[in-house]
Structure 1
Amino acid sequence: MTRITGIRTHDLRFPTSDMLDGSDAMNPDPDYSAAYVILETDGAYEGHGLTFTLGRGTEICVAAIKSLSALVVGLELDWIREDMGRFWRLITGDSQLRWV
């Protein structure tokens, strides 16, 4: 059984506001950014994911990933796959994090 053994996250930012790339009336100075996450396992698999932002606030997404990692590290991939609803309830139902 493959188990999640660690989570790494990165705050990636691209200075697109320097040339106003992607700017519009609602977003005058976006710096295209992403919180990037890597799930490490004890097997041959590795998981990669990201969430996009427009710059400021990416550090909040990274902090959320780090906070939720305690709920995910140690889980078996089969346990997650066999009932995604159960997994969703696990990560959204923490008694202290669910109000954030």
Structure 2
Amino acid sequence: MGDETRRAADGRWVFDGVSYPTRSEMCRTRRERYVASLNARLNFTQADRAVDVSKCIGKVWRNEHTRATGRNEKPSVDWYRSPVNKPTKLHNATSTRPNAF
């Protein structure tokens, strides 16, 4: 880690051989590449290594976390949303189960 991301001598941020004027643009590109790696069926650790971030930062990008500074990072992708509608709970009066009394 550390070889792909660095600050160039002229003060620009470099990620994967591309120079960015600000750190936020570089980080946005890294997050997009991270999501693309996950969509390409890489596991979390492989995607972390592909964009040169720690597993902790990868988890922050996958899940919504509030940082110590108060900055709230939204998840990149809605990972845990179920594609199937969840059934609603039946009311006791409409239940077909016989009473146990």
TM-score by length of 2: 0.30
- The normalised TM-score by structure 1 is 0.30
| Greater Cα radius of gyration, structure 1 or 2 | 2
